[in-house]
Structure 1
Amino acid sequence: MSNLEPINERAADWLIRLNEPGADERLAAEFDAWKRSDARHAAAAERLQGFIGQMSALRAQKASVHAALDAAFTSRKRSYRGKRAATALMLLALLPAWALWRSELPGYLLADLRTQPGQWLVHELADQSRVTLNGNSALDLQYDGRQRRIRLLRGEVLVDVAHDSSRPFIVETEQGEIRALGTRFVVARAEGVTLVTMLESRVAATASDNPQALEVNAGEQARITRDDVQLTATVDTRSVEDAWRHHQLVVKDQPLPAVLDQLARQFPGHMQFDREALADLRVSAVLPLDDSDRALNLLAEALPLQVREFSPWLRVISRAR
């Protein structure tokens, strides 16, 4: 056994403990002290946190490291710590390949257009329609003589459709389709649903397993599942336009965990927080989506929060004492 193997095992054990529900500020401070005690400790932790960052940036749905590894550890919960940590080290190293195999990532990596977390992209299509992808988004293009179709694989897209009466313009997701001729709207993929926010004109939205179309007009938002399309809210179109123009997240009286979920999608690593402990905190704010650290600092100034940085890829958010 090399001199570094026990250090790597210990670093893996620390990361597992920090991502468990019972992790607290005291444990994070002990981890800090362990890293400061030896340069090799800090280097080992940073290597493993790098794997976490790659996993979080690539996976279609973000989750904690503990959740991702939970099934693998179920049969080993009574094993001694060294064996558990060694297994964790191996799995952390293999997680990027595992994610590629199990998720939509092959489609995402080969997408016609895609962005990294915190990166925005404006692209003009062959028919002079224009799509704007926000961070951590991807889509495929399918144009032919009969239709113009884009498939949103992840994230959000703002669509400006050029008029073409001979070819409908369709945005497709797992949950359904949005059909338009000349219009401007936002399509966002969330967990198991698609959200459509209309800025100009109107579209017909259809669920994958229900042929009944629902018309969505300017200033309205609709929620699409595989079985149904429902209008959910009215929106301030100017506010939505401004948010896209300035890469902002505008929230009004939302629970903090929901806001952190949206910020985490734009962070290139992993944000760790206890949802239950923060569930009672509400947020009304305008936050930068292309600068996660600044957004977290703004939240910490307005709310009783502490944001701890353990590496460029790991932030731990907890309630301040």
Structure 2
Amino acid sequence: MTEDTLSEAEYDAITDAAAHWCMRLHAVDCSAEERVAFEQWREAHPLHAFEYEAMLEIWDVAEHLPRPDPVVALPASNPAPAWRQYAISASIFALGLPLVAYTGWNMGWLPNSYQHFEASDNVRQVTLNDGSQVELNLNTELTYSNYKDERRVTLKKGEAFFSVSHDITHPFIVKAAEGRVRVTGTRFNVWMYEDQVRVNLVEGSVLVTSNTALPGDGLRLGPSMQAQYRHGDYTPQISQTYDNDSSLAWRNGKLILDNLALNDALPLINRYLNNPLMLADTSTGAIRVGGVYNIKEINGLVNSLPKVLPVYLTRNAEGNPVINSIPKHAPKS
């Protein structure tokens, strides 16, 4: 079967299969055998992978649909797959029918525009549909959805610098990990690695919350202030930044480590690596490191560590490089 000879029915079958696999792979009872079968299906034809990626983007939109009324909800024996099936079916229906899509927009359930951006090997600058400018650092992925009552960005991984178009009636929300940054028009940076998030404000003001499940809009930042949070934090940690702050050096292609303990430096380094560095023990994490590095050459930084620090590298069972401190010899008696 080639792409040129596919009939309309065959295209529809691929779309249906992509929707099925999207639902199954997000289901809590998805088995290992099903995942193997999915990989075989995806590799069978180029259109399979294409349609599946398109379905994932619809899935992101479905995240924001309202939950069904509990009175008419599907049985609770397997609530997550039932809700997902409802959500993705509703989003496909709404995106396919202009009248329903218009109703979803007016109710604040569905966006009238959706964008997905990735940056892999190069820093990338993009323009959102509202006119806001975003710079994406290496290995960064985010989505943008424009809703009636707000503009939403989900930072899925990486780091981005935002120059937000001012609109006091249409707030701009950035979701990162469990937290959220809320603005109307400003310039700020959001860095994320695993469950750690750091927000640096350059201009304007933002409200930062560490957990969207908590009440309130969070803590307010002014220019030259920074907020940090991670999983489980009740409120962000707020601090002042200074003229020599290096948080935004990535916009010039640099990673600056200013005499940091390895324990603090590793999240900054690891976000550029496919195989993150690990620490052998807490004493190794206390060793300090400094320097200016090219963000495209962080692998070179890893290899140079034994040359500039009293450490050596090994690998763990998963193949990750591990930093070990060189033990100090006891003095001779």
CA distance in 2, matches of 1:125, 1:245: 19
Does the 8 Å contact 1:289/1:295 carry over to 2? no
Query: What corresponds to 2:190 in structure 1?
Result: 187
- Corresponding residue for residue 100 of structure 2: none
Given candidates 230, 236, 240, the residue that maps to 2:242 is 236
Partners of 1:197 and 1:220 in 2: CA distance: 6
Query: Which residue of 2 is the match for residue 223 of structure 1?
Result: 228
Mapped to 2, the partners of 1:278 and 1:224 lie a distance apart of 24
Q: Does 1:205 align with 2:208?
A: yes
CA spacing shift, 1:204–1:175, aligned 2, 3 Å: same
SS at match of 2:129: coil
Q: Is 1:127 the equivalent of 2:130?
A: yes
**Equivalent residue, structure 2, for 1:289:** 295
Within the candidate set 101, 104, 117, 1:113 is matched to: 117
Deviation at 1:231, TM superposition (A): 4.1
Query: In 2 relative to 1, CA 280–292 (structure 1 residues): closer, same or farther, beyond 3 Å?
Result: same
Q: Equivalent residue for 1:158?
A: 161
Secondary structure of 2:273's aligned partner: coil
Q: Do 1:264 and 1:271's aligned partners in 2 also have CA atoms closer than 8 Å?
A: yes
Gaps of 5+ in 2: 1-35, 40-52, 61-115, 328-333
Length, aligned pairs only: 217
Deviations 1:113-148 (CA, angstroms, capped at 9, x unpaired):
2233x5432211122211122223221211134321
CA–CA distance in structure 2, aligned partners of residues 205 and 235 of structure 1 = 16
Provide the rounded CA distance (Å) in 2 between the counterparts of 1:296 and 1:227: 31
Give yes or no for contact 1:198–1:220 (8 Å, CA) kept in 2: yes
* SS of match in other structure, 1:140: strand
Residue type at the aligned position of 2:291: A
Matched AA of 1:205: V
1:248 aligns with 2:277: no
**1:276 corresponding residue in structure 2:** 282
> Would you say the 8 A contact 1:175–1:193 is kept in 2?
no
4+ runs deviating over 6 angstroms: none
TM superposition score normalised by structure 2: 0.55
Q: 1:308 to 1:285 in 2, by over 3 A?
A: same
Q: Which structure would you say has the larger Rg?
A: 2
CA deviation map 1:60-97 (0-9, x unaligned): xxxxxxxxxxxxxxxxxxxxxxxxxxxxxxxxxx8xx8
CA distance in 1, matches of 2:134, 2:185: 13
Q: Aligned to 1:166, what secondary structure does the other structure show? A: coil
TM-score using structure 1 length: 0.56
| Percent pairwise identity | 25
**How do 1:140-155 residues align onto structure 2 when only pairs under 5 Å count?**
140-155=143-158
Local SS of the residue matching 2:249: helix
Which structure would you say has the larger RCO, counting Cα contacts within 8 Å and 6 or more residues apart? Answer: 1
State the 1:222 CA deviation. Answer: 1.2
- The answer to whether the 8 A contact 1:164-1:182 is kept is yes
Distance in structure 2 (CA, Å) of the matches to 1:172 and 1:252: 28
